[in-house]
Amino acid sequence: MNIALWIIQGLAALGFVYSGWLKAFQFEKANASWGWVKDVPKAFVVFIGVAELVGAFGLILPLAMYIVPKLTPIAAAGLATIVLLGALYHVARKEHREIGVNVVFFVLTVFIVIGRF
């Protein structure tokens, strides 16, 4: 189970690093890639990106370095919240194609929360 959790944590962290990096540091590319970015203030998109980056590091570093390892499931819970709110936003905008990615990352992060608590 521990190996499966590490694999899922790594995959989720990679996804959140990619998404967070685009939102936080490559706003124009994110703007071109995702339609919702045009309708949200830039500062909020950057905030979401930074939160995703911090959460991605939180999925790996606390447990890997065994420095306050309970931060790992807390980071996963925070990321699950971000993804759930994103999915609700896509539902409100009728962007049903985008919801699949949110569901996958929600399941991954909830699995991490349950497995690590």
pTM listed for this prediction: 0.92
Percent of the chain with pLDDT over 90: 83
pLDDT of residue 34: 87
Domain tally, the chain: 1
pLDDT band at 12 (very low <50, low <70, confident <90, very high): very high
* Neighbouring residues of 112: CB distance < 8 A, sequence distance ≥ 6: 5, 8, 9, 12, 59, 72, 73, 76
Longest Cα–Cα distance in the chain: 42
In terms of pLDDT, which residue wins out, 32 or 21? 21
Owning domain of residue 15: 2-116
Q: At residue 97, does pLDDT exceed 90?
A: no
Mean pLDDT to the nearest integer, 100-112: 96
Convert 4-34 to b/e letters by CB count within 10 Å (16 or more is b). ebbebbeebbebbbebbbbbbeeeeebbeeb
Average pLDDT over residues 50-78: 96
